[in-house]
Each structure stands twice: as C-alpha cells, then as structure tokens.
Structure 1
Amino acid sequence: MTTKLSLANLGQIAKTASVPAYGRAGLSAGIVHFGVGNFHRAHQAIYLDDLFNLGHDHDWAIVGAGVLPSDAAMREKLAGQDFLTTVVEQDNNRSGARVTGAMIDYLAPGDAAATVARLADPAIRIVSLTITEGGYFIDPASGVFDPAHPAIAADAANPAAPKTVFGLILAGLKARRDKGLAPYTVMSCDNIPGNGEVTHAAVSGLARLSDPALADWIDANVAFPNGMVDRITPATGPREIGIVADEYGIDDAWPVFCEEFKQWVLEDHFPLGRPALEKVGVQFVPDVAPYEHMKIRILNGGHAAIAYPAALLDIHFVHEAMEDPDIRAFLAKLEHDEIIPVIPPVPDTDLNDYFALIERRFSNPKIADTIPRLAQDGSNRQPKFILPSTADRLSRGEDVTGLSLVSALWCHYLAGTTDSGKPITFNDPNIERIHAAAKAVKSDPFAFLELKDIFGTVAGSDLFRRRFAAALGSLQANGTRATLKRYLEDRLAN
C-alpha cells in the first residue's frame, strides 16, 4: 500500500520519511531555476530545504522553469505532487528518504511571456541553472561562446520571443532594466570551469548581437558568481520508483536517488542578497577555481576515464567497474601519474586524500550509478574533463600515455560495439559526425583527431598523436582488458 506524495499526505508519509518542518504556505519565491533535473533536486534544493527546516530565509523558495519540450514531462509529474520530491540518500551502510518542499511552482516550457514576467518580478533575486555542460553554446575546444549557433542566432533575431535559456534570462534582465529594477544574480550550477564567466559570456554575448547597450549594462551591473557543485546523482527509472514505493510506501512519480556526500563552493557575489547557505554547509570563498579544477579533473575526469573501458567490457554499474581490478588500477594510475600532478594546490586539501574519497564514492553500490550515464555526451564532456589535463601536461613537456588512452578508449567505444560484439547505444548530440570519425580510424588512425572543435591544439601535438595511435592500435589488436594491462605494466607507450 502506497501513499501518493502530496502536501495533504505529508502526515502519513512522515512515518517512513523525513518531511519538511516548515509550512509550505509560508514560503515565497526568491529564485527561478532553469533545468529541474535530478541533480538540482538532490543538490541546490536540498541545501535550501535544510535552511528552511532551520527556520531561515523562507522568502528564497524556488520556482522551476522549463525550456525544452522534454521539460513538460517533469513539470507535469511534479505539479501532480505539489512540487514535492522524495530524495533517497544512500551511503554504503545506510539509506534514508526525505521529502523536500523548496520548490513552490514550475513555469511551463514554451510560455516565454510567463517566464519573463516572473523574471521581472523584483522578488526574484537569483536566477540559477543546471542545463548540462553542453547547454552553454560554447566551442568545445576553446571554451568561447559561439554566437553563430542557430539557436542563438534565432534568439538574437527575435529577442522578444526567446526560446533558449539565455534568451529568456536576457529578456528578463531587459524587462528589469526598462522598469528601473536592479538585476538578479545569474548563478550557474553546472560542471564547467569558470561556470559564472561562461554564463556571463553567453548572456552578454547574446545581448551584443541585438542590443549592444543592453550588453554593456549587463557587463556593468549583473553578477555571475563562479561555483563548484558535487553530488553523484544517477538517473531515475522504474527501479528507483519501485524502491521508493516498496521500502518507503511513497508513490512518487519521479524520485531522486543520490549519495550522502554533497559539496557546494561559491563566490560570495550576490548584490541583491542571498539565502544564508553557509548555515547548511555551503563554502563561500574568494576564488572557486582551485576547488573546481580539483573536482572537474579528479571526479568528472575520473568518471570519463572509467566510462569507456567499462562499457567496452559490458559493465553496467559504476560500482561494478570499481570492483574490476584492471579498471580500478587504471583509474588510480591515471590520477596519480597524470591528472593530480597538474592540479594547482587547493586550500586545506590534500589531493591524494581527495582522490581516495572519490574512489570510495565511485565504489558505493547503493547508488547504482550507471556506465551508460557516464558515457553519454562525450563530445561535450571530454573537452571539459579530460583534454584540459592533456593540454596542461603537453605544455609542460610531460608524457600523456594514460590520458591519450582515455581518448583512444572513447574513440574505440564510438566505433559501435563492445569487445564481446554487443551493439552500443549512443547518447550524444554530435553522434553522427563523431561516430563517422571513429569508424574512419580503421584506415587512418588520426581521423578521429580531425575533430578540431573537440581536440583543439592537443590534436597537433606529435607526442599526443603517437600515444593515441599506439593506444588505439592496441585496443583494435588486443582488446580493452589487454590494453589496460599493458598500460599498467608501462608497456603501452611507443
């Protein structure tokens, strides 16, 4: 017997899960958030829920905002349960469910007028976003905003009817400027180096295409704090919905599962104020860069490194990949030999201890994070999580055997079959051209490196090309496991 998740049923649900200690009627909106996915509901919404439970800052509730047609399904499911979410936090030795109520509304995708009107409301003081690494319209190799992207060009040609998240943010800022209202802070919560600067470039760059004066006003007045976010949050499927129903008796249409660990590091640059998130564990620092370098390269880079050998060996779950001795040893050698040595020092942090924490987190079987999730969207993730370390080592004249192997593993994966001959299902917005480039390496081992928007200057390095060709040749001739062993035995370079 399950209980439908709703405000009216919180009393019953409180028998098996934690529920908000605050009354939802006492909340008012202070934040509009674009990208109401699992990560946002397991991260930013959790911190706010914790703060509201302490009795603080009830005027900072979240209004979700959809942009893509696919956001309509999320909105419909959440609206059907009063915008409540069941979050199941899972450590190796414990699991617990909580219901969060920090979101009080959700603007429908496609209704630009309603979204801009809410953005123009002076009560909204922060606009935040988790739109994934690929949502920022930036050139993967250079990290520079791409004003020629068709979606950006369309919004620039018709700024009064925006369809992108940046067009909507821009229209909201224009409405506030025209009313004489102070602008809201724009806060990215995505895994991108300098995510605030990248977001600034997108918003200001779009404005400059149609209204240079508005762009100048944005540059002078709008805050875009950088931040680092961290919490492993797998996708939701029938398994997760069933566990919430069977173990906690809650009928939740889209619950969230996540690890117990979470981290959020932010620059304290919020001209219209902010919730007192330091009371619930958010670190406010003058410079986020050291923390984001550490996290993006060690954790996200680690995920990218194990995704493709695990997929090629028909491993489905991340914790199962970490149980494979060759994959676990490959990750450790790669991190200690090539990634960690080029990461700048982080205040009060030992990078080797941080990696040991990452190993434990990856090994958590309760999370049931999947290799297909890690392997998706490689054309956006590789240039952000792996290739920067490659470029740094090459600039210092240092070897890149392991990092080149990661690139070769991605290429070999994109050829389309696992080592056992099973077909691979891809999830990448650029799959047609990267799949074609991966197949072309059968006759030209460097064809994959012609993806210059992905590999950038790295592709021109003679050392990288040699290491990549050697790794790819070994994968083609010997398979994934034998190639990992050759790398571990220092026999892969030529």
Structure 2
Amino acid sequence: MTRLTEQTLAALPETVERPRYDRTALKPGIVHLGLGAFHRAHQAVYTERALAGGDLRWGTVGVSLRSAETRDALQPQDGLYTVAVRDGTGDRFQVIGGILRQLVAPEDPAAVLAALAHPDARIVSLTVTEKGYCHRPATGELDESHPDIVHDLANPQAPRSAPGFVVEALRLRREAGLPPLTVLSCDNLPSNGHTVAKVVRRLAELRDPALGAFVAAEIAFPSTMIDRIVPATTDADRAMVAAALGVEDRWPVMTEPFSQWVVEDHFPSGRPQWEEHGVTFTREVGAFETMKLRLLNGSHSTLAYLGYLAGHETVAETMAAPGFEPLVRALMTEEVSPTLPDLAGFDVAAYCEELRARFRNPALRHRTWQIAMDGSQKVPQRLLGTIRDRLAAGQPFDRLALGLAGWMVYAAGCDERGEPIDVRDPLAGRIREATQAASTPEALVAAYLGFGEVFGADLPASEVFRSAVTRQVARLREAGSAATVASTAAG
C-alpha cells in the first residue's frame, strides 16, 4: 500500500483533517524530548491548531532519547502521522504536520544539542515519563548516583539524560548570547515545573556554580497539567487507519475525544497562542495537577494493577467486571476528593463522572499492562500523597491501600495463576530480589518499605499505614483480585 507522505496528502478522503499551511515555511521553535505517543496525541495537536492559524514559528524538532523506532517510522512519511480520535460513536482522523525533523539522541547527541541551541528555538518541552528526570520520586531531588547523571557529569558534551541535554543546551545558548529556552515539562510529576527546575538547577550547579546561578536566575520552568488517554498503538490500529485513509501510516496514535492542558503562563522567550486553541493558562497549576494526579492517575493505576491481576487486558474490560466501577467511584468520592485543594467553581463530582465514562470507552483498548509500567515512579504521586493526607487527618484509606497492594503483588512478578509477569520498572530487578523470599504478606510489605526512594521515611514508620497495606495484600493473596474487588464493592 502507498505510504502517507507529502505527495499522498491530497489523495486522502475529504473527511480527514490535514495540514493546509506551507510546511516548508515552518521554523523550529520547539524542541521536544520524548517523541512518544502521548506528545503526538496531545501537545502536538494543540500546536498544530496554532500552525493552522498561521503562526509558523512553532514547528517541532522531535527527539527520541532511547529508541529509533519513531524516527524510523516517521522519517519516510515526511514527519506526518495520523491521530485517530475514537469513542463509541465512531472515529475521526487528523494528519499532523508540525514535526519538522526526528532525531535519535544516542545516535547523534550533537545534532540534538544543535537543535536546542538553534536561534529559532524558544521552548524545550518534555514527555520523558517520571523516570526520565533521573530524580528521587520521594523527594523530587536529583539522583546524583543515577548512571546517566554520572555519565553526563563526566561527558557533558555528549549527554544521555533529558536533564543533561537541557543543561548543556542552556550553557551553549548562554555562551552564544541567545535567548534562554523555556523548559516545559508535560509529565505527571508533582509540581512538575518546580520539580524539573530543582533537577536541572542542581545538575547545572554540579557542573559549574556560575551555570547553576544562571539557570536559577534566568530560566523559566512553567508547571503544567496534561490529560488525555493514549493507549499503545497496535497492528490492528494501523490496519484500521490504513483502511480509513487509503494509505499506510506506520505510526498513528489512538486517543479519546477528551483533552485538557493547563499551563502556567511564564514564557519569557515567547510561545504559541495556545489559549486560542483550547489550552487553559493560569497563575497556579498546582490545584488542577493534584486533582488530576489523584483522581485520574490514581484511579487508573488502581484499575491497572487490580485489573491485570484479575485477568483483564484493558481498562474498559476491567470497568465492566463486577465491583470495579463501584470501587473506583468510592475511591474517588470518599477517599480522594476530600483531600483535594480548593477548586473554586470547578465541579469535582462531574469531573469524576466524566473520568469513569472515559474509563468505560470501549473504543480505546488501553492495556492494563501498559498503565502498570514504572509503578515505583508513579505510586508516590498517584497514591502515596493522598494516603499521607488521609493519615494526617486520621481518616481511613482502605481503597487506596488496596490499589497500592495491587502494585506490590503485581511488581513482585508472579500473577494469580503462578505465571511470570513482564514487569517494566526501573526498580524491577531490586524488587524481585527483595521480595522473592517474602512468603507472608507481612514480609512482602516489609520488603517494599525498604525502598526509601518510593516510601520515604515517614510511611515505613507508620504502623497504621503498614497494617492497612498488609491487610490488603493478605486479601489479594488469599482470595485473588477479582473476589477482593467484588467483596470491597459489596461491603
């Protein structure tokens, strides 16, 4: 089948939205680190609207920090790809044209640094997942012993990590007298702008105190809150897109109709007029971010771990199983919502109902295994912060503890049928080693609480916390996830 390219755009069905602007006139105003599915279904779509409005200063140079897979798929397609928006009412398709080039950092770090140091660049945005910041999730501090950070301090002109590339780019721009980049994190980190600022400033300071002082004084790190469900693309998805477009797209992205982006408006060197295209700008992102992390992401992770253990492949399948929707509803309304900061004028109850409807979307085959990845980096923000607030208020947190227990059983690497689980987590090896001899729920929880980078010092010292989580681990081991969830909902 003919490939999606500039030459084949005109032959697409009229129902397919496509670039109508002059792509040859695009300027490389944004360098994006982490050219994965989420960025291409979220921030790139908002930027595409700005480009369609005529502001061509904001083309994107996309950088993959690990794999060449995305570059190899998009380069023969002139950087074009399809966003398929799916729900129970049908599918809608848009071809995105704003990605100018695709780079692979391990192949050519110098090319990445050259893109970041280009005079037209104004923003470096990131979707590198929680683990990509080389920080300690429990504290938000730079992990100075991280192998990539050790490498980047020894080889600053050939970095491996996202913070390493950012720091070296800021140094290059400073020496060249270029406007400073705005560093825009779009990952699910608590106060992501403040967290990334802390990491980048510390790395810059370790390299050169003067560079650290410059970063602290001159570089903007606006916080953001992002929300859109983007499942992994399958071969069936590719076939569906090819049938709809009449051309082959090797790397389309699937997503839902809902999309939200809340951004702190602090861009000293300029930005697209995203607010004209659906982005909410605010002085304080934190309340929105906390709401999303705790309600959406916390519920999503709970569904992923318990759903996977119960034998469910997707979130929608999990939501349809006995007890799971009542569990999530009670988790949201009874345990999470009372911990949220004030959101004047925002209808939290309606937001929770909208989340549950999104989780039920049968057109999105969002795999529980995919969501379950990198739990050691996610649970501190998605579950533990809420648990800490419940503990401080002397309030129960049984459903939160059940979600956490689901992660502990899952990450130990053996499912309820005795089959191995393909656990993808930065701490997977250490967790397996620490838990392999844990024959009792008490021993399993004790093994996990030894990971200070996840649980800090306070939670392991809390007998209330330890007891609540141990009780839920025991239930999962004795009855299994499906029966435990069903009985929790019934109770």
Q: TM-score, normalised by structure 2?
A: 0.96
Aligned position for 1:238 = 235
User: What is the CA distance between 1:12 and its match in structure 2?
Assistant: 0.5
Is the CA contact 1:42–1:233 (under 8 Å) kept in the aligned structure 2? yes
User: What is the CA distance between 1:66 and its match in structure 2?
Assistant: 2.7
Aligned position for 2:50 = 51
Instruction: Say which of 330, 334, 338 aligns to 2:331.
Output: 334
Helix, strand or coil at the partner of 1:386: helix
Instruction: Say which of 222, 225, 228 aligns to 2:225.
Output: 228
Is the CA contact 2:186–2:225 (under 8 Å) kept in the aligned structure 1? yes
Amino acid at match of 2:50: L
Helix, strand or coil at the partner of 1:251: coil
Matched, 1:96 2:92: yes
Aligned position for 2:64 = 66
User: What is the CA distance between 1:473 and its match in structure 2?
Assistant: 1.4
User: What is the CA distance between 1:489 and its match in structure 2?
Assistant: 4.3
In structure 1, C-alpha distance between the alignment counterparts of 2:353 and 2:306, rounded to whole Å:
21
In structure 2, C-alpha distance between the alignment counterparts of 1:190 and 1:18, rounded to whole Å:
27
Change (3 A) 1:112 1:127: same
Is the CA contact 1:147–1:205 (under 8 Å) kept in the aligned structure 2? no
- Deviations for 1:46-65, whole angstroms, at most 9, x for unmatched residues? 0011122222x111111112
Helix, strand or coil at the partner of 1:290: helix
In structure 2, C-alpha distance between the alignment counterparts of 1:9 and 1:300, rounded to whole Å:
39
User: What is the CA distance between 1:382 and its match in structure 2?
Assistant: 0.9
User: What is the CA distance between 1:347 and its match in structure 2?
Assistant: 3.6
Is the CA contact 1:379–1:428 (under 8 Å) kept in the aligned structure 2? yes
Q: Percent identity, aligned pairs only?
A: 40
- The answer to which of 358-367 and 197-206 deviates more is 197-206
User: What is the CA distance between 1:16 and its match in structure 2?
Assistant: 5.2
Aligned position for 2:486 = 485
- Deviations for 1:191-236, whole angstroms, at most 9, x for unmatched residues? 1111111111121111111201001001000001000011100111
In structure 1, C-alpha distance between the alignment counterparts of 2:12 and 2:393, rounded to whole Å:
57
Is the CA contact 2:402–2:473 (under 8 Å) kept in the aligned structure 1? yes
- Deviations for 1:326-348, whole angstroms, at most 9, x for unmatched residues? 11111111111111110112242
Aligned position for 2:315 = 318
- Deviations for 1:448-474, whole angstroms, at most 9, x for unmatched residues? 222222122222211111111111112
Amino acid at match of 1:483: T
Matched, 1:362 2:359: yes
- Deviations for 1:122-179, whole angstroms, at most 9, x for unmatched residues? 2101111100111111112222222222211221122222222221111111111112
Aligned position for 1:448 = 448
In structure 1, C-alpha distance between the alignment counterparts of 2:490 and 2:438, rounded to whole Å:
26
User: What is the CA distance between 1:181 and its match in structure 2?
Assistant: 1.9
In structure 1, C-alpha distance between the alignment counterparts of 2:104 and 2:464, rounded to whole Å:
50
Alignment of 1:162-173 (within 5 A): 162-173=159-170
Helix, strand or coil at the partner of 1:29: coil
Q: Tell me, which stretches of 5 or more residues in structure 1 are unaligned?
A: none
Amino acid at match of 1:88: A
Aligned position for 1:255 = 252
Helix, strand or coil at the partner of 2:173: helix
- The answer to which of 138-147 and 187-196 deviates more is 138-147
Amino acid at match of 2:7: A
Helix, strand or coil at the partner of 1:3: coil
Amino acid at match of 2:52: N
Helix, strand or coil at the partner of 1:425: coil
Is the CA contact 1:16–1:248 (under 8 Å) kept in the aligned structure 2? no
Aligned position for 1:465 = 466
In structure 2, C-alpha distance between the alignment counterparts of 1:258 and 1:313, rounded to whole Å:
25
Aligned position for 1:78 = 74
Q: How many residue pairs align between the two structures?
A: 486
Instruction: Say which of 416, 427, 431 aligns to 2:428.
Output: 431
Is the CA contact 1:62–1:104 (under 8 Å) kept in the aligned structure 2? yes
In structure 2, C-alpha distance between the alignment counterparts of 1:451 and 1:223, rounded to whole Å:
33
> Over aligned residues, Cα RMSD in angstroms?
1.5
Aligned position for 2:27 = 28
Matched, 1:279 2:276: yes
- Deviations for 1:292-342, whole angstroms, at most 9, x for unmatched residues? 001111011111111111111110011111111311111111111111110
Matched, 1:179 2:176: yes
- The answer to which of 286-295 and 317-326 deviates more is 317-326
